[in-house]
Structure 1
């Protein structure tokens, strides 16, 4: 494993969802001056950020996650709003948010617990599922929440999709796209009715 690589587990977004969000990003870029917009292939929902990690520790987490997720079914999610993290007038992160999902919370808990059991020290902030779209506000005027309401692309149509896979990613700083999938953990298919 790379010496200074960062690793994280995330819920993968299906290709068609990335394509829809790519169109959304193109439209929002015209109106919102953020320094860096996320490459569409890098869009995801972070479940656990590991930082720099040793191969044996990652292997231990992988084994625990593989076992835990083999008993979890794929589930539906809905992207339905926009939000920010950081200062209200100059946000650090601009994101698309998801409708609350018990299934997502359960899968995140499984991944998080597996990482803790493998010896990782993880952030303890409450889980706030989101898809980062852009970073660092660079507007000459202050950011306002009114912009989120006016520009919300989901008020006319939410994006629904099935979450099917958790992925271990490695970050390659300075590249675009910068996240490399290393291991995939498929969720079980729902039984057909």
Structure 2
């Protein structure tokens, strides 16, 4: 099963991002939009795992989360990962947050102890909102539009192991377990 450790955003934040997608659709030449049910922050991509390893992964995540109290994060700005002619991934980032970084680092370390490779790139907290997208405005204008959107704080109090599956011709993320922060 294809899996990752992540954070849910909650209904208000999900609705905010969905409304922002609707605004951006007016400036879109082409692209694929992330379904609002799939908005999340990935803390650690695990890839293919065996079902037998779920308990060990859950134990590692519990250890990683036990010293972290619930905290809030905020949306920051819109960015993208480059593709050939398009923006391969268009995302909304969150403000730098020491608690979120510590949670990521703890999870990375505890999963490394049970055989997962450590992340090579610096953790960048973001929510993918579109893929393979081409807009008729630049990223600065996109951020100007995003500035006008209402943004609430997002409570982070639970970490999930998700399975990524294709159902009914669309990607879905199914929670396998959850771990509450301290």
Structures share a fold, TM > 0.5?
Answer: yes
- Give 1:89-128 correspondences, 5 Å limit: 90-128=86-124
Three-state SS of the structure 2 residue aligned to 1:158 is coil
Residue 72 of structure 2 aligns with which residue? Answer: 76
Q: Does residue 153 of structure 2 align to residue 160 of structure 1?
A: yes
Residue 132 of structure 2 aligns with which residue? Answer: 136
Query: Does 119-128 or 97-106 show the bigger shift?
Result: 119-128
Three-state SS of the structure 2 residue aligned to 1:173 is strand
TM-superposed CA distance for 1:11, in Å, is 1.4
Residue 191 of structure 1 aligns with which residue? Answer: none
TM-superposed CA distance for 1:70, in Å, is 2.7
CA RMSD of aligned residues (A): 2.1
Query: Does 55-64 or 125-134 show the bigger shift?
Result: 55-64
Residue 8 of structure 2 aligns with which residue? Answer: 12
- Residues 26, 177 of structure 1: alpha-carbon distance in 2 compared, 3 angstrom cutoff: farther
Q: Deviations over 1:155-179 (max 9, x none)?
A: 5543312111111000112544511
Q: Is the 8 A contact 1:89 1:144 kept in 2?
A: no
Q: Does residue 173 of structure 2 align to residue 183 of structure 1?
A: no
Q: Is the 8 A contact 2:16 2:149 kept in 1?
A: no
- Stretches of structure 2 that go unaligned for 5 or more consecutive residues are none
Q: Supply the distance in 1 between the matched residues of 2:18 and 2:143 (Cα, whole angstroms).
A: 19
Q: Is the 8 A contact 1:168 1:184 kept in 2?
A: yes
Q: Does residue 163 of structure 2 align to residue 170 of structure 1?
A: yes
2:32 to 30, 36, 45: 36
TM-score with structure 2 setting the length: 0.88
Q: Is the 8 A contact 2:9 2:39 kept in 1?
A: yes
Q: Does residue 57 of structure 2 align to residue 64 of structure 1?
A: no
TM-superposed CA distance for 1:34, in Å, is 4.4
4+ residue runs of structure 1 moved beyond 6 angstroms?
A: none
TM-superposed CA distance for 1:88, in Å, is 8.5
- Residues 86, 58 of structure 1: alpha-carbon distance in 2 compared, 3 angstrom cutoff: farther
TM-score with structure 1 setting the length: 0.84
